[in-house]
Structure 1
Amino acid sequence: HTALLYAGAGAISGHNYSLWHKGWGGKGVAVTCTWLILYLPVTGALCCLAGGLAVLGLGYLPLGAVLIPTLAVPIAWVQYGPESGIILLLAAAMMFWRHKNGLHRIFLGQEKQFFRPKS
């Protein structure tokens, strides 16, 4: 389980901050979801589902992206101990950092909403 924890953390770090692209990469949502489902099968899938429902309900992609790993932190901490909780907390912090501009635009009311009719 420890190997999966650190392999997943490395995968999302590498996806977010690719050495091939001089530290720039994607925002790692798909990789994070995959890692959570592999590491915490049932609860990881539920966290991804909750993030997806938040996006569908509110229309903000950055909110769902940050919500997914954040919901998994306490579950990992309780199930597998502090080491697991801290690594998932770092993953949530990384996701927050990658989506900070979008979250700021949500706060300002300037972020584009998906799945919403044009008004």
Structure 2
Amino acid sequence: MSIRIICLAIGYVFGLFQTSYIIGKRHGIDIRDYGSGNAGTTNMMRTMGTRAGLITFAGDCLKCILAVALVRVLFRAQYSSMMHLLVLYAAAGVILGHNFPFYLNFRGGKGIAATAGLVLSFHPVMAVLGIITFFSIFFTTHYVSLGSLAVYAGLMIEMVIFGQMGWFDLSQNQLIELYILMAFLTALAYWKHRGNIRRLLEGTERKTYLTKKSQQ
């Protein structure tokens, strides 16, 4: 169990790098006081522009990729048989650190860009499916939240299907642990998006466009 906690802690430390908060402070603002109050990509894009939003996404995605890479380097030799599980623990730590940074009174983001880092790091097939899912929904509806939630739902389903197909080289007990952890992250994402879900159902969710020219 200790190795799991170590991976979770490594991820949490990486997750504390709040890209949007740092960019905002460099411009004299706390991004959490503007727009939706969320320290994430979409709020940065709406508040400070597309460039700031894309930098935020890159930073938050990269911190998860780096945390996963570090866990692989440190523990691949000793724990090669359970590496996919440890990778998910590291990514979970990043998401928790991003969403609940202790030095910002636990007010962070929603963990979607960090989850993108997980998708890109976990398995190449899942990365391709995640990219296709998000952008097909986003460019069709312009709802970032809907695309993000669809990615999480797909990730949960893919994790179970591919796990049972033997893609992750884990024992059945480890697979069950993997599924429980992924279910927790999915539930957390949906809880963090509860306001977005309500607005989607009401038809009042705000759309996001990459260029001002495309905005309605």
Structure-1-length-normalised TM-score? 0.87
Match of 1:108 among 202, 206, 215: 202
Q: Which deviates more from structure 2 when the two are superposed, residues 109-118 or residues 30-39?
A: 109-118
Match of 2:148 among 65, 73, 93: 65
Note the 1:19-30 alignment, pairs <5 A. 19-30=102-113
The answer on 1:13 being equivalent to 2:96 is yes
The answer on 1:96 being equivalent to 2:202 is no
How many residues are matched? 118
Q: How much identity, in percent, do the aligned residues show?
A: 25
Unaligned segments of structure 2, at least 5 residues = 1-83, 164-174
| Corresponding residue SS for 1:113 | coil
**Structure-2 change in CA distance of 1:3 and 1:47 (3 Å):** same
Give 1:9 shift: 0.8
Match of residue 44 from structure 1? 127
Q: Deviations over 1:13-46 (max 9, x none)?
A: 1111111211110121111011122112221331
Q: Distance in 2 between matches of 1:27 and 1:49?
A: 21
Task: Confirm or deny: 8 A CA contact 1:69 1:88 kept in the other structure.
Answer: no
What is the RMSD computed on CA atoms of the aligned residues?
1.6
Task: List 4+ stretches of structure 1 deviating above 6 A.
Answer: none
Q: Which amino acid aligns with 1:113?
A: K
Q: Which deviates more from structure 2 when the two are superposed, residues 65-74 or residues 108-117?
A: 108-117
Unaligned segments of structure 1, at least 5 residues = none
Q: Which deviates more from structure 2 when the two are superposed, residues 96-105 or residues 35-44?
A: 35-44
Q: Distance in 2 between matches of 1:30 and 1:22?
A: 20
Give 1:117 shift: 5.3
